[in-house]
Every structure is written in C-alpha cells, then in structure tokens.
A and B are shown apart, each in its own frame.
Chain A
Amino acid sequence: AQSVTQLDSQVPVFEEAPVELRCNYSSSVSVYLFWYVQYPNQGLQLLLKYLSGSTLVKGINGFEAEFNKSQTSFHLRKPSVHISDTAEYFCAVSLTNDYKLSFGAGTTVTVRA
C-alpha cells in the first residue's frame, strides 16, 4: 500500500518570501501525485497533479511541484507568497491502477506581513 509523509506540520513565512513544502511517498509501483489546498473553513481544492510526463508540474496560484522518482518526493514550491496563501496543504498519492487516494497529515502555512 502507498503512504505519504509531509515533513513539516507548520511553516511560517513572510509575505513575498519563497516557500517549499516537503512531501515524500512510499510505493513500490507507479503512482500519481497531487497537492490539495484547504483555505480556512472550506473544502479541499486541487492545486496541481503529476500523472506522467514532465517532472516539473505547474499549478494554480503560482505553485509548482517537482516529481523526483529516485528520492520518492513531490515537493511544492512558490517563489513569492501572499497573505492569501495562508492555508493547509495536503500531499496525496494514488497507485496508477487504483482508485484509492492516500493523504498526508497536512502542512499549515501561515503568511505574515
């Protein structure tokens, strides 16, 4: 079975600074990878996904992530954050031949002025 580890539970960051959220997964077979964002008091929405092809994936709101198969990682980055990026971010993985999506524990990003 696949699993996901998000290495940071909380990431405080100043406005306009870069941010990186780390995600590692474990699986012996091919996977699909996702990042979801949850703004306060809302449901989750998809930020970006990796299914195949280019390992650098661009998503909404200026976020991007890089799939590294050798390190089994899928880290999320943004070069310059805004106050509105304050949210909880979830990394998720599924096997390519399975419907089940497994989520990490989440990383809370707090952007300060």
Chain B
Amino acid sequence: EAQVTQNPRYLITVTGKKLTVTCSQNMNHEYMSWYRQDPGLGLRQIYYSMNVEVTDKGDVPEGYKVSRKEKRNFPLILESPSPNQTSLYFCASSFAGNGELFFGEGSRLTVL
C-alpha cells in the first residue's frame, strides 16, 4: 500500500530536549516536504527536499533541521524545542514536486 509514515504520532516533551520525527515513503517520490499546521494559519512549509542530499528552507525553517540521506526518508529534527513549536506536523511527498502531495497522518507535538 502506498503510504507516508510518520513517527511518533503523538509526543509530549520539554523545552530543550532534542527530538526527531521520522518520515518514510514507499512510492519512490523525489520530492518530500514538512509542514506545520496551526489553527487559522493553514499549513506552512518548514523544509523541503527535491532529491537525495538536496534540501531547502520553506517559509518557517527557524528551529528545525532536516536531512535526506536516502530517497525514502526525510526526518525532521528539533535540536532545542521551544513551546512555540507545539503544533501538528505533516510530512508529504510527491513525484517531482508537482503539487499532488501524499500526506502522512500527522505528528502532534507538545513542548512544555
């Protein structure tokens, strides 16, 4: 089954404790992206990657890091989480960034 898998789905952590949200897709998509969803703001892009070892900043990259060492994986790293990073995070992928994104089910992060 074609899917984008995120883990963990739910996480409560404390300020400053490094965490990683994993994302894996099994569709051989070149393009992968991370979004955060906040009420009234829709989805805002954090980082994206057009292929292995190619990443770029989206609209709200501050406080986040990503890597793309393999085509299928695109982890999101919060080196020192802060409460303003409490949000619902989505990973998505597509062929060649054509807008037809496949989304994961989301990871709800709470930073205390």
- On whether the beta carbons of B106 and A105 are closer than 8 Å, the reply is no
CA of A66 to CA of B109, assembled, Å: 37
Whole-angstrom CA separation of A42 from B98 in the bound complex = 22
* Interface size band for B: 20 to 34
Interface of A is mostly: strand
Decide yes or no whether A56 CB sits under 8 A from chain B.
no
**Taking the complex as formed, is B31 at the interface, i.e. its CB lies under 8 A from any CB of chain A?**
yes
How many residues of A sit at the interface, in one of the four size bands? 20 to 34
Contact partner, B45, options A9, A90, A101, Cβ 8 Å? A101
A9 to B39, CA, bound (A): 11
Q: Could you tell me if A44 and B99 are in contact, using CB atoms closer than 8 angstroms?
A: no
State the B residues within 8 Å of A (CB): 4, 31, 33, 35, 40-45, 48, 50, 58, 90, 92, 96-101, 103-106
